[in-house]
Structure 1
Amino acid sequence: LVLDEVEIHTFFLHPDWRKKGIGSFMMKSFLSGCHSSGVSAVHLEVRSKNPARELYSRLGFRESGIRKGYYGPQWSPDGQSDDAILMVYTTGKTVDLPNPGESLMACLTGGSG
């Protein structure tokens, strides 16, 4: 947290737990905390080929910049260079935040999330 802005450096979910609503639940909970703490913007960087970009966009993040070829071939699983996509979420945007009664267990058991 710097002044009223936050930067996410790492967000990772084990592949076995993806596509179950857990990542969405975690990010919504985090954004909810940002709202209530007076944070004005949340920044992150994601590889252009990372499927999590769809999640971030769905939650209200927008692309704010690009670093062409930022990840060299030695840092990419496929041996190809990859761009870094800069994204920002401004807390003035609306997002379907979790209800106070919603739990992680609801995600794991097929409930909302």
Structure 2
Amino acid sequence: MSTRVRLIELAPGGAGDAEAVDRIMLAAFDPRYGEAWTRSQCIGILAMPGVWLTLARVDEAVVGFALVRAIMDEAELLLIAVDPPARRSGVGAALLRGVIAECEGRGVAKLHLEVRANNPAVALYAAHGFRHAGVRRNYYRGPGGQAFDAHTYARELEIHR
């Protein structure tokens, strides 16, 4: 029996990729929590200094993305999403490794992120060296106004210049 290995290709993205990013974001983020950004928010932040978009492609189709903002020697992973049919295939891990490598190459010493407390992505972040750094109480609103804490995580990076 043969198995086909699917290559995950990471590439820089830009405002011209807004349609693909929007499609994945709408599929990946549960609308009950209001975590997805609008297309105009994504395009607007991409125009800011220190912000970049990384796309993940499989068989030339965009299946995931990561949006990052760096200021001086710190960065924040603003958004990371994988199209639901491509989940659990290594796309999220590849994106996270790519973000870490890009940050290190840009001289970033610490990478931060924030995630809803009950988000299963926490396991992915922990597996890549992120440590719990704090809690923002009642940050997210769920169904019927139910509040969820936001947990912040951080990871020290090795600077490569």
Q: What is the TM-score of this pair, normalised by structure 2? A: 0.52
Give the fraction of aligned pairs with identical amino acids, expressed as a percent: 36
Higher relative contact order (CA 8 A, sep 6+): 1
- 1:80 is displaced (CA, Å) by 2.8
Residue matched to 1:81 = 147
Gaps of 5+ in 1: 93-113
Over 3 Å counting, the alpha-carbon distance change for 1:14 and 1:66 in structure 2 is: same
After superposition, the C-alpha distances for 1:18-66 in whole angstroms (9 at most, x for unaligned) are: 1111100111011011122211011110001110010001100111000
Answer with 16-25 or 76-85: which moved more.
76-85
Structure 1 or 2: more strand by fraction: 2
Residue matched to 1:108 = none
Residue matched to 1:103 = none
- 1:8 is displaced (CA, Å) by 1.4
After superposition, the C-alpha distances for 1:49-105 in whole angstroms (9 at most, x for unaligned) are: 110010001100111000121112xxx25853211001111104xxxxxxxxxxxxx
Residue matched to 1:105 = none
SS of 1:65's partner is strand
Q: Which runs of 4+ in 1 moved over 3 A?
A: none
Residue matched to 2:156 = 90
Task: State yes or no: 1:68 paired with 2:137.
Answer: yes
Separation (CA, whole Å) in 1 of partners of 2:131 and 2:105: 21
Separation (CA, whole Å) in 2 of partners of 1:77 and 1:91: 37
Match of 1:27 among 67, 72, 96: 96
Residue matched to 1:97 = none
Question: How many aligned residue pairs are there?
Answer: 89
Residue matched to 1:11 = 80
Q: What is the TM-score of this pair, normalised by structure 1? A: 0.72
Separation (CA, whole Å) in 1 of partners of 2:90 and 2:144: 27
Over 3 Å counting, the alpha-carbon distance change for 1:90 and 1:78 in structure 2 is: farther
The AA in structure 2 aligned to 1:67 is R
Separation (CA, whole Å) in 1 of partners of 2:106 and 2:150: 28
